[in-house]
């Protein structure tokens, strides 16, 4: 790899990797999962799983990418040749890269919907804002043309950033987007805390009630911890290839996890005070809470219109920072194999993603009754990627680094202190591998 593709300074890699991890899963799904699984009991298990499962596997992905200095597919090929094991491990990179493409096809649809809400200002003097909000969401989701417009706009922005290159495109964008994201999440948290029911939120998030813990809650927390960090889709491995030589993997992963967890918990603090202060809202209302009920709550609060806009800008930025990481692994591989311009590659991949996204859009309306395995097109792609492809990717990453690679080889290249390395290998070989396998089995049930 040319040095021009390696980011300068430690902050760019941290922001890029954190941006990959901080997505709709943190701001949209995490509060919903907390609300549906008993609040603070779920949060505690989630934090334990982030450290026990997420940290070792994320460090492993970065290690492979940094060693290979290529796309995930070719980095896995290089490391296989280095230690004389089967080149078939490169298909692990294929699995992750394809998963990223498939996820982006519907991720872009939801991100486009969130982007549209930046411009959805409620008219003043509404007698029934709930009816207005429900009607607006129905109009948006039932109109293929509306969804296609916002899906296209979001995907074009994503492609322009990735097409501009690793340094000038991805690196520059994350250095702008991520500080804005952190600023907005803090602003929203203070606003929500001052206008909503903060005491109920603190009790809900941070007062543990272990009687609510069930096997299902524990497995849900494990799954959310795993998926929250973008593990198994090649994005973190691709970014590892651009990591500066002197940057330490262990400390960097801890920083990324702290940022990711900070955003997830801040999202809860930004959303739940408003929910608890409004008797018509439910903490377990699901994804519809974001598009249908929270805008109504903002409408009733001081300066609600402004902070509603900030909220949906926040969601859009989080989605964009993840989207560019989903597109990068396959883009990097095609650039290496075919040697053509990155912008041409991104254009071709973008067309394919756009077409797949049309299937997800039609799942809201004209294809809503068409089912395969009792799932519509969007639900099937979501199930196949999140329940099969990503867990398998994470599982085999843990097996490769924890069991297949020589211990001294990993120790020499991952560059951790002896004590930290022993803990890393112990957790990777036994805790991460078995936990991901359990999540995988659970997701198939």
Please report the pLDDT score of residue 31 as a whole number: 81
What pLDDT sits at residue 292? 78
pLDDT surpassing 80 at residue 52: yes
Spatial neighbors of 135 by CB under 8 A, at least 6 apart, are none
What CATH number should be reported for the domain holding residue 370?
Answer: 1.20.1740.10
| CB neighbour burial string for 48-66, b if at least 16 within 10 angstroms, e if fewer | ebbeebbbbbbbbbbbbbb
Residue 3: pLDDT over 60: no
Handedness of CA 175, 102, 95, 385 (dihedral sign): positive
**Does residue 334 carry a pLDDT above 60?**
yes
What the block records as the tokens of 241 is: 């290839």
Tell me how far the alpha carbon of residue 314 is from its chain's centroid: 14
Per this entry, what is the length of the chain?
A: 445
Q: What is the pLDDT of residue 287?
A: 62
Predicted confidence (pLDDT) per residue in 251-306, tens digit:
999 999 999 999 989 988 998 898 888 776 676 666 667 887 788 888 888 888 89
Percent of the chain with pLDDT over 70: 97
How confident is the model at residue 4, as a pLDDT?
58
Domain extent at residue 174: 3-444
Residue 393 scores a pLDDT above 90: yes
Question: How many Å apart are CA 7 and CA 59, to the nearest integer?
Answer: 18
Q: pLDDT tens, 186-210? A: 999 999 999 999 999 998 888 887 8
pLDDT averaged over the chain? 90
How much is the pLDDT for 341? 94
pLDDT classification of 105: cutoffs 50, 70, 90: very high
For residue 178, give every residue at least 6 positions away whose Cβ sits within 8 Å of its Cβ, in sequence order, or none: 15, 18, 19, 22, 321
pTM: 0.94
* Model pLDDT, residue 338: 92
Cα–Cα separations (whole angstroms), residue 353 to 103, 107, 115, 360, 433: 9, 10, 18, 11, 31
Residue 411: half-sphere exposure toward Cβ, Cα within 13 Å: 12
Residue 210: per-residue pLDDT: 80
Residue 326: both structure tokens together: 């989903």
Number of domains in the chain: 1
């Amino acid at each position: 790899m040319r040095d021009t593709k390696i980011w300068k300074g430690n902050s760019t890699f941290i922001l890029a990797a954190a941006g990959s991890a901080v997505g709709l899963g943190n701001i949209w799904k995490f509060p919903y999962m907390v609300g549906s699984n008993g609040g603070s009991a779920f949060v505690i298990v989630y934090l334990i799983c982030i450290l026990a499962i997420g940290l070792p596997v994320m460090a492993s992905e970065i290690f492979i990418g940094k060693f290979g200095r290529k796309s995930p597919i070719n980095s896995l090929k290089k490391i296989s040749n280095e230690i004389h094991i089967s080149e078939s491990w490169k298909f692990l990179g294929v699995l992750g890269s394809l998963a990223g493409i498939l996820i982006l096809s519907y991720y872009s649809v939801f991100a486009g919907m969130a982007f549209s809400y930046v411009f959805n200002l409620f008219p003043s003097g509404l007698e029934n804002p709930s009816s207005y909000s429900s009607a607006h969401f129905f109009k948006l989701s039932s109109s293929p043309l509306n969804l296609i417009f916002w899906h296209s706009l979001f995907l074009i922005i994503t492609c322009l950033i990735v097409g501009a290159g690793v340094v000038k495109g991805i690196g520059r964008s994350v250095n702008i987007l991520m500080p804005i994201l952190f600023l907005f999440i803090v602003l929203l948290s203070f606003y929500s805390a001052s206008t909503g029911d903060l005491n109920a939120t603190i009790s809900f998030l941070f007062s543990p009630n272990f009687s609510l813990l069930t096997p299902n809650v524990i497995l849900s927390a494990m799954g959310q911890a795993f998926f929250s960090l973008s593990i198994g889709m090649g994005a973190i491995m691709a970014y590892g290839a651009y990591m500066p030589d002197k940057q330490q993997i262990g400390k960097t992963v801890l920083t990324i996890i702290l940022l990711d967890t900070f955003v997830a918990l801040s999202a809860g603090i930004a959303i739940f005070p408003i929910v608890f202060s409004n008797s018509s809202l439910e903490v377990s209302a699901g994804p519809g809470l974001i598009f249908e009920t929270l805008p109504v709550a903002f409408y009733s609060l001081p300066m609600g219109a402004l902070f509603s806009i900030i909220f949906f800008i926040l969601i859009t930025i989080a989605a964009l920072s993840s989207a560019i990481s989903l597109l990068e692994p396959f883009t990097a591989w095609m650039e290496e194999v075919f040697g053509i311009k990155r912008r041409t590659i991104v254009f071709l991949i973008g067309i394919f993603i756009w077409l797949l996204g049309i299937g997800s859009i039609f799942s809201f309306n004209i294809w809503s009754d068409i089912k395969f395995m009792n799932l519509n097109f969007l639900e099937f792609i979501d199930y196949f990627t999140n329940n099969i492809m990503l867990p398998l990717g994470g599982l085999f990453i843990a097996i490769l680094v924890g069991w297949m690679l020589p211990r001294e080889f990993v120790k020499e290249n991952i560059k951790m202190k002896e004590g930290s390395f022993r803990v890393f290998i112990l957790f990777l070989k036994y805790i991460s591998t078995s936990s991901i396998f359990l999540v995988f089995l659970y997701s198939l049930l």
